[in-house]
Chain A
């Protein structure tokens, strides 16, 4: 009888541990790419996931980082490399280009006009929709540091955070779905 009780106790604690490890109904996404098409795909999946009842967190890292720059903000006090990256990398979601068929910007312009015609939301509109839906966005501190970006030049976004790999892994570890785009 005592043995049974001990077994029951062990089982109960095991079940509690397992329940703690159940992944949440959450999507954790890395947006590594700064290509317009891939960022569009990531935002479509993110907003769609909220519609499906999921919590969503997106990590913008490396080439994805400049997608969240604010096109109207100017910040000074950068070194030569920082100024170079600032000038060469796209300034915000409206400035990114296609991964294929860009043709010096012509292809991207054509795709944008086609998207408008076909009622596909622009990247900037998708970012605002994501904000409204409560999609969290985390910007990688290391990428910002490498490229010389400052927090003050990033977009105003209600659910914006800054973090590193541990933050991503914590979120990914408790998510049902993880994507790298």
Chain B
């Protein structure tokens, strides 16, 4: 895996309901350096629309969002 997608921190948010995924991700992003990647695993179907909305509002980049069954995985780059 190249440096550009190296994961600095991973959050297991499976089973958590709204608003916890977005609350925990907003905290977690502060624990990685600017430019680094935060990985987050969720199962809340709402997070598929919520996390990108959070990214657009806060400016952090959603590098990837993928779904496998009920498991959802986000890669988020801290931009500021």
Residues of A at under 8 Å CB distance from B? Answer: 44, 47-48, 50-53, 118-121, 129, 133
Distance from B11 Cβ to chain A, minimum over Cβ atoms (Å): 13
Query: Would A120 and B54 count as touching, CB distance under 8 A?
Result: no
| Range for the number of chain B residues in contact with chain A | 10 to 19
Can you spell out 21 A-B residue pairs with CB atoms less than 8 angstroms apart?
Answer: A44-B18, A47-B23, A48-B18, A48-B23, A50-B26, A51-B19, A51-B23, A51-B25, A51-B26, A51-B54, A52-B54, A52-B57, A53-B26, A53-B57, A53-B58, A118-B17, A119-B16, A119-B20, A120-B18, A121-B17, A129-B23
Could you mark each residue 33-59 of chain B with 1 if its beta carbon is under 8 Å from any beta carbon of chain A, else 0? 000000000000000000000100110
- List B contacts of A120 (CB < 8 A): 17-18
CB distance from A137 to the nearest CB of B (A): 17
Question: For residue B58, which residues in chain A have a CB less than 8 angstroms away from its CB?
Answer: 52-53
A51 B18 Cβ-Cβ under 8 A? no
What 0/1 readout, one digit per residue, does chain B (58-69) give for beta carbons within 8 Å of chain A? 100000000000
Which of A47, A51, A52, A120 is packed against the most chain B CB atoms within 10 Å? A51
With a cutoff of 8 Å between Cβ atoms, the chain B residues found around residue A118 in the complex are: 17
Give the residues in chain A near B57, CB-CB below 8 Å.
52-53
Within 8 A of A (CB), among B1-45: 15-20, 22-23, 25-26
Main secondary structure of the interface of B (DSSP, over half): helix
Q: Do B17 and A119 touch (CB < 8 A)?
A: yes
Q: Contacts A52-B54, A52-B57, A53-B57 known; A119 to B22 CB distance under 8 Å? A: no
Q: How far is the CA of A133 from the CA of B27 in the complex (A)?
A: 10
When distances are taken between beta carbons in the complex, the residues of chain A under 8 Å from B17 are 118-121
- Are the C-beta atoms of A50 and B16 separated by less than 8 Å? no
Determine the distance from Cα of A129 to Cα of B18 in the docked complex, in whole angstroms.
Answer: 13
